Each structure stands twice: as structure tokens, then as C-alpha cells.
Structure 1
């Protein structure tokens, strides 16, 4: 008669030890093998980091839009500003005696847009500007200290269906 030695508990312990040893061997192998395309790049120097930081600080997303006669930004201070869907210009007045009537509707539209953004937890303001002889109302967020903060707010607005444009203002 053939008798068996050991038990289920001893088999589980031996199996767990063999499994842990195999997992350790795979982990060591994976960490020692070079990753394709990752080890071929040059190491970054502090000079390269400083040059990239300067480039990002002076970055102007509107540079291609300036053309031959660059416009001076109107905001007084700060970094990037998000311009939310520029409102339609006010219609020409029907009679010269009614200046309030010609700007009331676009101003209300801008305030509604500002309120919608405020409900999202973002602080916006309405600015009024003369453009080509017409009054334009803009809803703006910012200025932001970091471009990343402006990008996050822009993504949040874009995700909710609000058309946005990132503009840079002079400090």
C-alpha cells in the first residue's frame, strides 16, 4: 500500500513560495530590460529647462492672428485670459435718440453667459469694447497665473459646450 505524505496546507505554502519567486524573477527582468524609444533621448540639461520655461512664459497663442498691425491687448495685468464666445456686435441704432436700446440685448446675452459660467464655479466678468465702430461685449475669465490653469478652465468650458478662445494679455 502506498501512503501519501504532507497535506493540503503544505502544498499551498510551497505553491505560494514558488509563485512569489516567479513573480520576483519577472519583476527583476522587466526593470532591467531597456524600454524601446525611452533610453534613446538625450538627457535634459538645466539650460534646456530654462530655455523652455522662458519660451512658455513668452508664449502668445494669438501671434498668428496679429498680421502686419498687431493690436495691443486691453487687459491691465495677468497672464492668459479665456475669452468666451465673443458676443455679436450691437446693431446700428434705429434712431439716434435710443443709445440704450442698441446695447441692451447684447449686454443681456453677455450677462446670461457670465451667469452660466458662474454656476459652473468659475468667476467671469463682462467687458465692453468699441470695435470697428460697434460696441462688443466680451465674457472673460482670468487672468491666470499659469497657462496650465487657463487650459484646465478652457477644457472645462469646452466640455460643457461653451465656445472659448485663449488670449494672452500684457503684464
Structure 2
């Protein structure tokens, strides 16, 4: 193990969620388009099966049992009123859940306002948001990273919309 590896391990142990033996988690999965949902996703990183497996591994890593899974297949994260997301928020308010595991922050929300509202709803229910691929948690550095990742997701979404309009306008001209 190199010094860099040892430092990375030490940093990860500081920002990773502390396992609660016998804890419970919910898993939230989302793909944006009906095509991804019907075909299982062409981008392996974002397919429902790939997200499910990553979330399962994360649950195992933090010592949690996934007790419920919520899948919004073919739903945009540009809006927060997705059926399974709303059902999940209600579920965690009514059940003992320690963690909500997502593959990436952008699977949960694509704008800061929705991200904050969802995160507060989870926190009010006593649930810690955990990403299978990003080191977010309730520490100051974890919250900073969460904010940055959420802002990047919002930028990506808005920029994609702008580029689509620009391309369509150029094609029409």
C-alpha cells in the first residue's frame, strides 16, 4: 500500500457513513427515459440493474439491509413529483429506516432546490442519504461534496437543454 492509498483509506474512513449493525436502508433507482427503462438501459452505469447492484454493494459495505426498493423508470429528475420518489419519502417517514441509498446524487435530483427539499425530508425522518459512488454524508466535507455534485447535476441538465435548443434552431435554419 502506498502513502497515497493509505491517505485515501484514512480519508474514506472519515467521510464514509458509520455502519450501524442491524440498520435498514431503502434503495432508490431511476433512469430518465422510457427506452432505458424498457431495454434495461444502454449505459451500463445508469441502467436499473447496474444501479441496483451498486446500491446492494453499498448497503453491504455499511452493514445495512435493504428493506424496500423504489424505482422511477423513465422519469426525469428535473421534477421532484416522481411517483416512486414520493412513495419513498412517505415510506421513510412511516418506517424505521437508517439510510437512503442512491447510485449518484443526480439519480435523486437535477436541481438544487429539489435536492435540498428531498434531503431535508430524509433528514427529518432520521434517514442518512448515501451515494453508492460518491462520498457524501453529514460531515462538513460530505455536505460540501453533496452540494457540489447537486450543482453539477443542475448545470448538466440546464446546459443539455440549452444545447438541444441551439441544435434544433441550427437544424431548422
- Whether these two folds match at TM > 0.5 is no
Of structures 1 and 2, the one scoring higher in RCO (CA 8 A, sep 6+) is: 1
Q: TM-score range by the shorter chain?
A: under 0.3
Indicate the structure with greater helix content: 2
Larger radius of gyration: 1
TM-score normalised by structure 2 residue count: 0.26
TM-score (norm 1): 0.26
